[in-house]
Amino acid sequence: MTGETIGLFGGTGSTGNYFLRLALEAGFKVQACVRNPDKIDKEIQDKYKDKDKDQLVIVQGTFTEKQDIAKTIQGATYVVCMAGAPMGKPKEYPKDIMLTFFTTLTQVIQENNTSSTSSTSSSTSSTPPKVVLYQAGAFSPTPDRPLTMIHSVFKAVGQWVMGLGPNVDDNTQVIAYIHQNINTLGFNTIVSRPGMLNDKPGGNVQLKADHFSPTNFAITFSDLAIWSLKAIQDSSLYGTFPFVVPIDQDILPRKKEPAASNKEEDVGETK
């Protein structure tokens, strides 16, 4: 094992289930918050949820509860959120659920930091995670860099035709909150903004962070998971809001199929 721990939200979702397996295979301890533990492959549980090693710790709960958030990130070196609410169902979207999650997560980390600072016992000390990676989507701009005209059109289509409006708005609120408070959060952040995603076999396309424009090509959930695991270990990405794009996107065939999504779990399991 690496000796490092990842607190994971959304570990049974489209990207999250790949990320969970990759992190465990790489030797990380993973504390995964899931509503239904049966959604984690039995093979993974049998291999990594061992009484002696305990490399996989399942926190049965939801990312909407403060106590479950606290358990999931306890002692975590990294925190990764690949969770989300239902996509394409505007009327079923819980208002501001992701913004509430992130502000609650911030509160928990800051409370832990305060307790650590005021405590004289090393056994109760707590340090903030190196970074929190929050997976948003390419339709959500940062306050200082609006989307290009063409991607604003794509965003409008996604919001009104595909019913992604509440998801996009919620992610945009999270990005604005982080952007506004980035110097006072008390921990580093990465907000990844992938575009179109699909569940085709991955592993052949390398991805990179692009700080200026999203890709017009679909990427796979598994490739995004690979990039995300590398990203949390790359301090040059801390404090950034990168689009996630193929390194060689100019030579890739254009995808005709619609986006699968930029988030993957409903609020019940939350990705």
Give the CATH number for residue 213: 3.40.50.720
The verdict on residue 227 lying in a domain is yes
Cα 4 versus chain centre, distance = 18
Residue 80 near residue 232, CB atoms below 8 Å: yes
The verdict on residue 244 lying in a domain is yes
The verdict on residue 260 lying in a domain is no
The mean pLDDT of 106-133, rounded to a whole number, is 77
Reduced to 3 states (helix: H, G, I; strand: E, B; else coil), residue 207 is strand
CA–CA gap between residue 20 and residue 25 (Å, rounded): 9
Confidence at residue 52, expressed as pLDDT on a 0 to 100 scale: 63
The verdict on residue 22 lying in a domain is yes
Confidence at residue 124, expressed as pLDDT on a 0 to 100 scale: 43
pLDDT band (50, 70, 90) for residue 119: low
The mean pLDDT of 124-143, rounded to a whole number, is 88
pLDDT band (50, 70, 90) for residue 118: low
Residue, of 1 and 171, whose pLDDT is higher: 171
pLDDT 10s digits, 165-181 = 889 999 999 999 999 99
The verdict on residue 257 lying in a domain is no
pLDDT 10s digits, 101-112 = 999 999 999 999
The verdict on residue 212 lying in a domain is yes
The verdict on residue 270 lying in a domain is no
Cα 171 versus chain centre, distance = 11
pLDDT 10s digits, 44-89 = 999 998 766 689 999 999 999 999 999 999 999 999 999 988 877 8
Tokens of 183: 């110097």
The verdict on residue 179 lying in a domain is yes
Residue 100: domain span: 5-251
Q: The tokens 């590398």 sit on which residue?
A: 230
Domain count for the chain, please give it: 1
Look at strands 56-60 and 189-194 and give their pairing: unpaired
CA–CA gap between residue 145 and residue 211 (Å, rounded): 10
Q: Mean pLDDT over all residues of the chain?
A: 86
8-state DSSP, 259: P
Confidence at residue 1, expressed as pLDDT on a 0 to 100 scale: 66
pTM assigned to the model:
0.87
CA–CA gap between residue 13 and residue 220 (Å, rounded): 13
Confidence at residue 88, expressed as pLDDT on a 0 to 100 scale: 77
Look at phi and psi of residue 182 and say left if phi exceeds 0, alpha if psi is from -120 to 50, else beta.
Answer: alpha
